[in-house]
Amino acid sequence: MRVLALGGYGAVGAPATAALRAAGHTCLTAGRDPRRADLPLDLTRHDDYRDALEGIDVVVNAAGAEDPALAAIAADHGAAFVDPTATAGYTARLERLAPRAPVLLSVGLAPGLTTLLAADLHAAHPGTDPIDVAVLLGEGEAHGAAATAWTLGLLGRSFPDPATGEAVRNLSRGARLDLPGQGRRRLLRADFADQHVLTRDLGRPVRTHLGLDSPALTRGLGLLARLPGAGRLRGVPHLPGTDAWTAAARSGPHLRRARGRGQSRATALVTAHAAVLAANLPPGVHHLHRVTALADLPALPGVTLDPRGA
């Protein structure tokens, strides 16, 4: 395939590009930085973007640009569009498209791997009880600018609970979840797109929770979310700690879990796998759990899936 990786030199884009090239695909990086991009490109200039699509089979949006026109333009040129976005509103706008080529969403770590974990749990243990999705990140990882901006963008905002419609303030209303090896952890509600998509698709409530590896820092994040003006923050200091992450889906005694090091790299590896899948999908908007299953996921370096039913 010929792949155009938007932001292909960033924290997610660079390892995704490397994985695609290692698999034998031609992958061109595009972005504003002419020193790092194979193809310097301002994504707000749609005519230049159209020109860059000549001969491209798949576009991977690792730039964090939340512009549905990028997906629509790619589809008009016959290119699949893959986006690891976690933003619920942007995902909803993409779902309203009627693209003439495939658009594949929920393709990172969260959503993505979390989506497959929850869908696998539901397939094995169907019901109507809530599924709680946990995303536990190592505070020591140096996240990319887009990921940092996304997390800070949660502060001071609320979202409708996907099951009840009740307003939920981001990084509040913590739930206590049992995570093997980490004990009973209090995590914070967060507006990841997967909870809305899965609640609709599975027909049961799905709630996503976010936390840091340190329980104290998780509590601090919850306190920060309550401060007036916290939503205006534009950066955070790099904290000591590890880059270990855990993603899990739990309903009652049933659990699916994945672990690894480097959240950005895990997102990149799932995204690269999704790019290969996307090339063979029919036109339309798809989510990863609709086109593949957890059992079909290839071995991902540095990612450990716990035994089924653990």
Provide the pLDDT confidence category of residue 218 given band limits of 50, 70 and 90: confident
Please give the Cα distance from 190 to 208 (Å, whole number).
Answer: 6
Name the residue with higher pLDDT: 16 or 235.
Answer: 16
* Predicted TM-score of the model (pTM): 0.93
The answer to whether 257 and 185 have CB atoms below 8 angstroms apart is no
Please compute the mean of the pLDDT values over residues 245-263 and round it to a whole number.
95
Confidence tier at 217 by pLDDT (50, 70, 90): confident
- The CATH code of domain 113-262 reads 3.30.360
Integer Rg of the chain from CA: 19
Q: Which residue has the tokens 């990319």?
A: 144
Question: How far is 143 from 212, CA to CA, in rounded Å?
Answer: 13
Residue type, 248: A
Rounded Cα gap, residues 136 and 294, in angstroms: 19
User: Which pLDDT score, from 0 to 100, does residue 153 have?
Assistant: 83
Is 228's pLDDT higher than 60? Answer: yes
Reply yes or no on whether the pLDDT at 112 is more than 70.
Answer: yes
| Residue 5: predicted pLDDT | 98
Domain parsing of the chain, residue ranges: 2-108+266-305, 113-262
Tens-place pLDDT, residues 11-25 = 999 999 999 999 999
pLDDT in tens, 278-291: 999 999 999 999 99
- pLDDT of residue 229 exceeding 70, the answer is no
For the sheet containing 172-179, what is the strand order? 172-179, 183-189, 206-212, 131-137, 244-251, 254-261, 303-305
Q: What does the pLDDT average to over 216-232?
A: 77
Is residue 102 within 8 Å of 286, Cβ to Cβ?
yes
> Which candidate, 42, 15, 12, places its Cα nearest to that of 30?
42
Question: Which is more confidently placed, 144 or 237?
Answer: 144
Q: Kindly report, residue by residue over 43-97, the tens digit of the pLDDT.
A: 999 999 999 999 999 999 999 999 999 999 999 999 999 999 999 999 999 999 9
Superfamily of domain 2-108+266-305: NAD(P)-binding Rossmann-like Domain (3.40.50.720)
| Cβ pair 231, 157 in contact under 8 A | yes
pLDDT 10s digits, 23-52: 999 999 999 999 999 999 999 999 999 999
Which of the two residues, 69 and 228, has the higher pLDDT score?
Answer: 69
Q: What is the pLDDT of residues 141-187, one digit of tens each?
A: 776 677 777 887 888 889 999 999 999 999 987 788 888 888 899 99
Residues in CB range of 231: below 8 A, 6 or more apart: 152, 153, 155, 156, 157
pLDDT band of 309, cuts 50, 70, 90: low
Q: What is the pLDDT of residue 307?
A: 67
Amino acid at the residue 184: R
**Is residue 225's pLDDT more than 70?**
yes
Lowest mean pLDDT of 184-193, 230-239, 264-273, name the range: 230-239
Looking at residues 197-205, what average pLDDT do you find? 97
The fraction of the chain above a pLDDT of 90, given in percent, is 77
In this predicted structure, what is the pLDDT of residue 94?
Answer: 98
Q: How confident is the model at residue 233 (pLDDT cuts 50, 70, 90)?
A: low
CATH fold match for the domains 2-108+266-305 and 113-262: no
